[in-house]
Amino acid sequence: MLISQPMTSDTAWRDSHSDPQFWAMLAQTLLPPYVNTCRWFAGKARPQTGFSVKTVHTLALSDGDIAYLLILEAAYADGRPEKYLLPISFLTDHTTHTLSFQPASVPEKARISDDITIGKETGMLIDAIYDDRFRAVLFTAIYQNQTMPQTDGTLTFHRGKGLDEGDEQLPSRVLPVDSSNSAMTFGDKYFLKLYRKLFQETNPEVDMVAFLTDESSFDHIPAFGGSIIWQGNDRPDITLGMVQRMVPNDKDSWMQTGDYLNDFLYAVPQRLFAIREDVFDKVELLGRRTGEMHCALYKPSKPNAPTDPAFEPEPFTDEYREFMINRLEDLLERRYALLIDNYTKLDLQAQRLAWVFMEAKEMIDTFIADFRTRPLSSQRIRIHGDYHLGQVLATENDFVIIDFEGEPESSIAERKIKHSPLKDVAGMIRSYHYAVSAKLFNSVETDELNPDHLQRVSDRWFYLIRDTFLDAYLDVFGAPHPLFKNNSEINFLLLIYLLEKAVYELGYEISYRPSWVKIPLKGIIDVVREIEKIRLSDGEVTPHVPMLQTGLLQTKRE
Ligand X SMILES: Nc1ncnc2c1ncn2[C@@H]1O[C@H](COP(=O)(O)OP(=O)(O)O)[C@@H](O)[C@H]1O
Nearest to 387 by CA among 277, 270, 287: 287
| DSSP state letters, 450-492 | -HHHHHHHHHHHHHHHHHHHHHHHHHTT-SSBTTB--HHHHHH
Q: How far is the CB of 86 from ligand X (least distance, A)?
A: 15
> Residue 177 binds which one of ligand LMANGFYV, ligand X, none, with CB within 5 to 8 A depending on kind?
ligand X
Stretch that binds ligand X, among 127-135, 173-181, 358-366, 448-456 (CB under 6 A): 173-181
Distance (Å, whole) CA 199 – CA 407: 13
Q: Which is nearer to ligand X, 250 or 281 (CB)?
A: 250
Type of residue numbered 425? V
DSSP state for residue 271 in the 8-state scheme:
T
Q: How far is the CB of 185 from ligand X (least distance, A)?
A: 8
The interaxial angle of helices 253-267 and 422-440, nearest 10 deg, is 40
Who contacts 190 (Cβ-Cβ below 8 Å, separation ≥6)? 139, 162, 163, 167, 170, 225, 243, 244, 245, 246
Q: Which is nearer to ligand LMANGFYV, 133 or 415 (CB)?
A: 415
Nearest to 66 by CA among 75, 74, 57: 57
Q: How far is the CB of 30 from ligand X (least distance, A)?
A: 24
Q: Helix, strand, or coil here: 413?
A: helix
Distance (Å, whole) CA 103 – CA 92: 9
Q: Which is nearer to ligand X, 385 or 523 (CB)?
A: 385
Which 233-262 residues touch ligand LMANGFYV, going by CB under 6 A?
254
- CB–CB of 301/295 below 8 Å? yes
Residue nearest to ligand LMANGFYV according to CB distances in the complex: 431
Stretch that binds ligand X, among 72-80, 175-183, 306-314, 354-362 (CB under 6 A): 175-183
> Residue 430 binds which one of ligand LMANGFYV, ligand X, none, with CB within 5 to 8 A depending on kind?
ligand LMANGFYV
Distance (Å, whole) CA 271 – CA 364: 36
| DSSP state letters, 203-251 | -HHHHHHHHHHHH----SSPPEEEEEEEE-TTS--EEEEEEEEPPP-SE
Question: What mask, x for binding ligand X by CB under 6 A, covers residues 385 to 404?
Answer: -----------------xx-
Distance (Å, whole) CA 313 – CA 124: 52
Helix (H) or strand (E) holding 115: strand 111-118
Distance (Å, whole) CA 33 – CA 27: 10
Q: Which is nearer to ligand X, 39 or 374 (CB)?
A: 39
Q: Which is nearer to ligand X, 388 or 518 (CB)?
A: 388
Distance (Å, whole) CA 273 – CA 513: 29
Options 131, 467, 489, 505; binder of ligand LMANGFYV; rule CB under 6 A: 505
Stretch that binds ligand LMANGFYV, among 24-32, 333-341, 362-370, 382-390 (CB under 6 A): 382-390
Pairing of strands 190-194, 121-127: unpaired
Options 82, 237, 405, 505; binder of ligand X; rule CB under 6 A: 405
Options 75, 148, 183, 454; binder of ligand X; rule CB under 6 A: 183
Question: What mask, x for binding ligand X by CB under 6 A, covers residues 206 to 225?
Answer: ----------------x---
Q: Does 508 bind ligand LMANGFYV (CB under 6 A)?
A: yes
Nearest to 32 by CA among 9, 8, 49: 49
> Residue 34 binds which one of ligand X, ligand LMANGFYV, none, with CB within 5 to 8 A depending on kind?
none
Cα dist from 255 to 250, 261, 321, 394, 456, whole Å: 9, 10, 36, 9, 23
Q: Does 199 bind ligand LMANGFYV (CB under 6 A)?
A: no
> Residue 244 binds which one of ligand X, ligand LMANGFYV, none, with CB within 5 to 8 A depending on kind?
ligand X
Q: Which is nearer to ligand LMANGFYV, 176 or 543 (CB)?
A: 176
Distance (Å, whole) CA 200 – CA 83: 9
**Residue burial 29-50, b: 16+ Cβ < 10 Å; e: rest:** bbbbebbeebebbbbeeeebee
Which 386-405 residues touch ligand LMANGFYV, going by CB under 6 A?
386, 388-390
Q: Does 113 bind ligand LMANGFYV (CB under 6 A)?
A: no
- CB–CB of 261/465 below 8 Å? no
Contacts with ligand LMANGFYV: how many residues (CB under 6 A)? 13
Stretch that binds ligand X, among 176-184, 261-269, 372-380, 515-523 (CB under 6 A): 176-184
> Residue 103 binds which one of ligand X, ligand LMANGFYV, none, with CB within 5 to 8 A depending on kind?
none
Q: Which is nearer to ligand LMANGFYV, 223 or 519 (CB)?
A: 519
Stretch that binds ligand LMANGFYV, among 62-70, 280-288, 392-400, 428-436 (CB under 6 A): 428-436
Strands (E) across 293-408 are located at 314-315, 379-380, 392-394, 399-401
Options 408, 480, 546, 551; binder of ligand LMANGFYV; rule CB under 6 A: 408
Q: Which is nearer to ligand LMANGFYV, 91 or 496 (CB)?
A: 496
Q: Does 181 bind ligand LMANGFYV (CB under 6 A)?
A: no
> Residue 75 binds which one of ligand LMANGFYV, ligand X, none, with CB within 5 to 8 A depending on kind?
none
Who contacts 508 (Cβ-Cβ below 8 Å, separation ≥6)? 520
Q: Does 430 bind ligand LMANGFYV (CB under 6 A)?
A: yes
Which 223-262 residues touch ligand X, going by CB under 6 A?
244, 246-247, 252
Q: Which long-range contacts (CB under 8 A, 24 or more apart) does 166-172 make?
A: 167/143, 168/139, 168/140, 168/143, 168/144, 169/136, 169/140, 170/139, 171/132, 172/132, 172/135, 172/136, 172/139
Site residues for ligand LMANGFYV per CB under 6 A: 180, 254, 386, 388-390, 407-408, 430-431, 434, 505, 508
Site residues for ligand X per CB under 6 A: 177, 179-181, 183, 191, 193, 222, 244, 246-247, 252, 402-403, 405
